[in-house]
Structure 1
Amino acid sequence: MTMLPKSDIEILSQYIDDENGYYRLRVGRRVHYLTISSGVFDDDTMCRPYLLIPKLPDLPDSPWTTMVISRDKNGSLTSTTSTDPLPEIQTTWHELRVDVLKLERTRRFRSGVHEVQYNGAPAIAKIACFQWDIARIERESWAYSIMARHHNQHPNESPIAPNFLGHLTENGRTMGFLLQKVNGEPACIDDLANCEALLRRLHRLGLIHGDVNRYNFLVDRISGSSIRLVDFEHAEELDEGLARAELLSLPVELAEETGRGATVIL
């Protein structure tokens, strides 16, 4: 069987806990997922792609999806591959699909969130790096579908959130989405009235945001203080009690100065 050249391997995402290291890696135009048991390699190797890649076992040049790497009782590396399909986003309402590997990443905000170049302009790519991220991306895609449907019906109203540009795919499966990049700064207590009005508009659509920290309101002061809401990972269907609590929390959230909820740019 032909093996994949290690010189072509790029680790796109990694997450390491006490039991396993999880890796999302690109080889050519395909993406594969590795799980490596704790103790297979030393901690430095598990954390540093340039140390890990040379020590990986040979990776078959075939359409496998996942590989589990461990050591047998004699200490030799063993690996098991699977071709089982990976979970994907089911709320696929937009007509556009974009291969995530074709986007040029220009900035990393946090795991699974990058600024990219799309059609010659900056955009925001948000993806499920691993299987446990699928649920939050699913929820956010659902929330955007509701806002997009409302905006299509009422095109003269200002948008509540950035424009949803399309779904992102990897090996053909939907695992993220692409957003318009909105320039702005976090809201402050002086923006309370405008933030409250925007949040009430969201509630009228039947949605709870779920995380109304000041960094999830982006204020564009250059173009007349327009505001957009972002990060709908905790969105829910409307509950009147939760809606009231969300509105009541705004003064404290907008006055918050500790940086809780802020994006760390890497």
Structure 2
Amino acid sequence: MHWRHTSQTSVMTGNGGCAIQLLATLVDSDDAEESEYRFLVNGKHVKYVTVGPGVYPKDERTFAPVRIPMLPPFPPGDWNVGHISKDEVTGRPVFLHTSHEDLPGVRSIWHPQQIDHLELTKVKRIRQNIYVATCARLEGSVLVKIAEFPWQMHCYEAESAAYEQIEGKGIGPDFLGHVTEAGRVIGFVLEYLDDARPARFEDLLNCQRVLANLHAHGIRHGDINKYNFLVQKEKVTLIDFDSARLCSNQSELDAEYQSLERSLLDCSLKGKP
């Protein structure tokens, strides 16, 4: 089973008078499992839609200009979760059911600022779930990291909690606020280090300092590849705390610290955006 994960921003109209924007897609390349889609309807409402295997041709499931016109009409009403299957009589795709569910959100809400995802204007995509954006309430470009699907929320729970622990300690980028969708927190906004580069072996001493600072606060990072150390002149900033956790075992912290030199010498592309 192989999964293809894409993010798109194409907007098309004509689906029952709705403007449909495909925000994210997760499909099984073998088409043996359900595909998942995140849509924005009429610029306001996010809908999470699963599609049964075999409903659409394999090669057309992730390309928005093809996918959106093939969708059945979106049912009216206040729903946020739906499922598309083939009609048993006509064989055409139809919404089998829709519902309004209380979707999970991040519970580690500690920063005073909350920003709705619709306030963010995407400028550049870094990864599937990470992009550079602008916001009228924030100065300059910022980095946004969100959960594209509700089942991903546990990763953002851990990372939000980690940023609270390191706030103001010179370890990570500035945490600028929580990102919300329909009132629930789905991610966060960070300072964008646009002039930074990944660490190299000659940055070892400064990387050791920031990692030792993290360990001094009882936190194990969990993923210290060189792309998670961003360098600006001589300043090193540690990023990507989704694998971080509180750790009182000094031997584990020491092992992570000792592995840093090997990580900076690694010539593979592990961790590269």
Pair in the same fold by TM > 0.5: yes
Measure how far apart 1:6 and its partner are: 5.7
Q: Which runs of 4+ in 1 moved over 4 A?
A: 3-7
Between 1 and 2, higher relative CO (CA 8 Å, sep ≥ 6) is seen in: 1
Pair 6,54 (structure 1): closer, same or farther in 2 beyond 3 Å: farther
Partner of 1:171: 182
CA shift for structure 1 position 72: 3.8
Preserved contact between residue 6 and residue 53 of structure 1 (Cα < 8 Å): no
How many pairs were matched up?
250
Distance 2:61 2:38 in 1: 13
The answer on whether the counterparts of 1:9 and 1:25 sit within 8 Å (CA) in structure 2 is yes
Percent identity (aligned): 35
Asked if structure 2 preserves the Cα contact closer than 8 Å seen for 1:217 and 1:229, the reply is yes
Partner in structure 1 of residue 21 of structure 2: 10
Using the TM superposition, give the Cα deviation of residue 190 of structure 1 relative to its aligned residue in structure 2, in angstroms: 0.9
CA–CA separation in structure 2 for the residues paired with 1:70 and 1:60: 14
> What amino acid is aligned across from residue 150 of structure 2 in structure 1?
Q
Q: TM (normalized to structure 2)?
A: 0.87
Matched residue, 1:190: 202
1:49-198 equivalence runs, <5 A: 49-74=64-89, 75-79=91-95, 80-118=97-135, 119-148=138-167, 151=168, 159-182=170-193, 183-198=195-210
> Quick check: 61-70 or 3-12, which moved more?
3-12
2:153 partner letter = I
Q: Is the Cα contact below 8 Å between 1:6 and 1:54 reproduced in 2?
A: no
Task: Kindly report which structure 2 residues correspond to 1:164-243, keeping only aligned pairs within 5 A, or say none.
Answer: 164-182=175-193, 183-221=195-233, 225-238=234-247, 239-243=249-253
**How far apart are the structure 1 equivalents of 2:171 and 2:17?**
45
Q: Could you give the per-residue CA deviations for residues 163-209 of structure 1, whole angstroms, max 9, x where no partner exists?
A: 00000001121100000112311111111111111111101111110
Q: Distance in 2 between matches of 1:15 and 1:144?
A: 28
- C-alpha separation between the residues in 2 aligned to 1:177 and 1:212? 21
CA contact (8 A) 1:188 1:214 kept: yes
What is the alpha-carbon distance in structure 2 between the residues aligned to residue 6 and residue 107 of structure 1?
Answer: 29
Cα distance in 1 between the residues matched to 2:210 and 2:222: 14
Mind listing any 5+ residue stretches in structure 2 that lack a counterpart? 1-13
Q: Which of 17, 39, 45 is equivalent to 1:25?
A: 39
Contact 2:15–2:72, Cα closer than 8 Å, also in 1:
no
Higher normalized helix content (fraction of residues)? 1
CA drift of 1:44 comes to: 2.3
Provide TM-score, normalisation by structure 1: 0.90
Q: Which amino acid aligns with 1:36?
A: V
- Please report how far the alpha carbon of residue 89 of structure 1 lies from its aligned counterpart in structure 2 after TM superposition: 0.5
Report which stretch shifted further, 52-61 or 32-41.
52-61
CA distance 1:6–1:52, shift in 2 (3 Å)? farther
